[in-house]
């Protein structure tokens, strides 16, 4: 018997899977760069700035011996940051098999182009999987609970449907211990929507990035439509070229609360830089990462176009409700 609703659901599920695959294939295809290639990147200072933001978040919340869950860990670019925080255990998951392989290589210390170093001090488990589809509490039953969950520059890939967004937050909540911390970075929907409204058509950008919304959003109004599945194409020179989804922060915040995750803070990257760059230890870190020039200003070596891309992102911290079971 013909079942239009069933057909529509089937088509939605299929297109969701196709887009998840597109994202995975895009990241899988990105090969490791040599140090020379990395330094020559048109967005090298933006990459360094983003590494600084992630390092500050880790320094602020990680404690010696912590068990860490890194959702969408990519090639393991944060392994060194976690090592510096002296964590006790690390689980990294990513949908892109190529990235997980690179992550494994980096963890084993075989061919790290960026930093030749010996083994990491913590044991690690690296898994290829879709963090926004799979019930991770089943996969990681023996590894949980975690003290910290981190999802860097990747939460927005869960916002294609409500089911995926819920799975993402349910996974984080189920795996964190009471009082555990969820840290992350993702696009700042307020900034992106503001730029869209100011744009002539459905696209905007500068010399290093562009964003283009689908024709279906040509009225530029999102209030009446669902807060999930608002898709755009994001292109960032030498980094990203794939579909992404708007994450309205208020919706993220209230959905997270449903899963016992309470907001500690949210800050646009610009605000984050201005706030944390006042602290000497963070200035020193920025200098070591090379994102700062000689002058002490945040954007002194970032081009204005890179600084504008930084403005497209925010950092968030959430806390799992309940009393910590250790001191």
Q: Rule CB under 6 A: say whether 23 interacts with ligand SAM.
A: yes
**Which of the stretches 69-77, 214-222, 227-235, 243-251 binds ligand SAM when contact is defined by CB under 6 A?**
69-77
Query: Which of 56, 61, 99, 172 forms a contact with ligand SAM (CB under 6 A)?
Result: 99
Pairwise CA distance, residues 82 & 10, whole Å: 41
Q: Mark 270-299 with x for binding to ligand SAM (rule: CB under 6 A) and - for no binding.
A: ------------------------------
Residue number closest to ligand SAM, CB atom:
74
**Least gap, CB of 35 to ligand SAM (angstroms):** 17
Question: Residue 17's CB: how many other CB atoms inside 10 A?
Answer: 13
- Is the CB of 23 or the CB of 315 nearer to ligand SAM? 23
Query: Which of 130, 188, 237, 306 forms a contact with ligand SAM (CB under 6 A)?
Result: 130
Question: Residue 59's CB: how many other CB atoms inside 10 A?
Answer: 15
Contacts to ligand SAM from residues 232-271, by CB under 6 A: none
307, exposed or middle or buried, with CB in 10 Å at 0-12, 13-18, 19+? Answer: middle
**Which of the stretches 16-24, 102-110, 291-299, 306-314 binds ligand SAM when contact is defined by CB under 6 A?**
16-24
Query: Which of 58, 85, 95, 312 forms a contact with ligand SAM (CB under 6 A)?
Result: 95
- Is the CB of 76 or the CB of 227 nearer to ligand SAM? 76
- Is the CB of 124 or the CB of 154 nearer to ligand SAM? 154
The answer to whether the CB of 231 falls within 8 A of the CB of 243 is: yes
User: In degrees rounded to 5, what are phi and psi of residue 257?
Assistant: -60, -35
**Which of the stretches 10-18, 117-125, 147-155, 249-257 binds ligand SAM when contact is defined by CB under 6 A?**
147-155
Count of positions on this chain that bind ligand SAM (CB under 6 A): 20
CB burial readout 151-182, b (16+ within 10 A) else e:
bbbbbbbbbbbeebbbbbbbbbbbbbbeebbb
The answer to whether the CB of 163 falls within 8 A of the CB of 132 is: no
Contacts of 5 (CB under 8 A, 6+ apart): none
**Least gap, CB of 180 to ligand SAM (angstroms):** 19
Q: What angle do CA 51, 26, 135 make, to 5 degrees?
A: 80
- 240-314-231-137 Cα dihedral, nearest 10 degrees: 90
To the nearest 10 degrees (0 to 180), the angle between helices 280-289 and 44-61 is 140
**Least gap, CB of 221 to ligand SAM (angstroms):** 27
Query: Which of 72, 148, 175, 314 forms a contact with ligand SAM (CB under 6 A)?
Result: 72
Which token pair is 252? Answer: 């993220």
Pairwise CA distance, residues 91 & 325, whole Å: 21
Q: Rule CB under 6 A: say whether 94 interacts with ligand SAM.
A: yes
Question: How do 313-320 and 261-268 pair as beta strands?
Answer: antiparallel
Q: Rule CB under 6 A: say whether 152 interacts with ligand SAM.
A: yes
Q: Rule CB under 6 A: say whether 132 interacts with ligand SAM.
A: yes
Query: Which of 57, 154, 286, 312 forms a contact with ligand SAM (CB under 6 A)?
Result: 154
**Least gap, CB of 201 to ligand SAM (angstroms):** 26
- Is the CB of 152 or the CB of 173 nearer to ligand SAM? 152
Grouping H, G, I as helix, E, B as strand and the rest as coil, residue 165 is helix
Pairwise CA distance, residues 324 & 95, whole Å: 31
**Which of the stretches 31-39, 130-138, 192-200, 277-285 binds ligand SAM when contact is defined by CB under 6 A?**
130-138
For binding to ligand SAM (CB under 6 A), which residues are involved? Answer: 20, 23-24, 27, 72-74, 77, 93-96, 99, 130-132, 152-154, 157
């Amino acid at each position: 018997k013909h079942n239009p609703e069933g057909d529509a659901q089937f088509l939605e599920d299929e297109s969701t899977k196709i887009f998840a695959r597109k994202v995975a294939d895009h990241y899988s295809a990105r090969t490791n760069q040599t140090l020379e290639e990395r330094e020559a990147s048109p967005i090298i200072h933006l990459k360094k700035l983003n590494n600084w933001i992630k390092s500050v978040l880790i320094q602020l919340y990680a404690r010696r011996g912590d068990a860490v869950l890194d959702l969408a860990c990519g090639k393991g670019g944060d392994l060194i940051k976690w090592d510096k925080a002296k964590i006790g255990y690390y689980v990294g998951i990513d949908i892109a098999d190529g990235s997980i392989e690179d992550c494994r290589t980096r963890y084993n210390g075989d061919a790290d182009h960026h930093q030749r170093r010996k083994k990491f001090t913590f044991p690690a488990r690296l898994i290829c999987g879709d963090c926004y589809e799979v019930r991770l509490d089943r996969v990681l039953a023996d590894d949980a609970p975690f003290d910290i969950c981190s999802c860097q520059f990747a939460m927005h890939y869960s916002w294609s449907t409500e089911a995926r967004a819920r799975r993402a937050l349910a996974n984080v909540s189920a795996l964190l211990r009471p009082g555990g911390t969820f840290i992350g970075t993702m696009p700042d929907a307020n900034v992106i929507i503001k730029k869209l409204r100011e744009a002539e058509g459905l696209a905007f950008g500068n010399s290093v990035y562009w964003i283009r919304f689908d024709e279906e959003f040509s009225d530029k109004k999102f209030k009446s439509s669902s807060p999930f599945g608002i898709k755009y194409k994001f292109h960032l020179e030498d980094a990203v070229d794939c579909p992404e989804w708007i994450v309205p922060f208020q919706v993220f915040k209230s959905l997270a609360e449903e899963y016992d995750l309470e907001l500690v803070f949210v800050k646009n990257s610009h605000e984050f830089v201005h706030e944390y760059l006042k602290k000497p230890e963070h200035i020193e870190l920025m200098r070591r990462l090379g994102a700062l020039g000689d002058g002490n200003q945040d954007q002194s070596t970032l081009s204005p176009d890179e600084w504008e891309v930084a403005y497209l992102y925010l950092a968030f911290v959430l806390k799992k409700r309940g009393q910590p079971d250790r001191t």
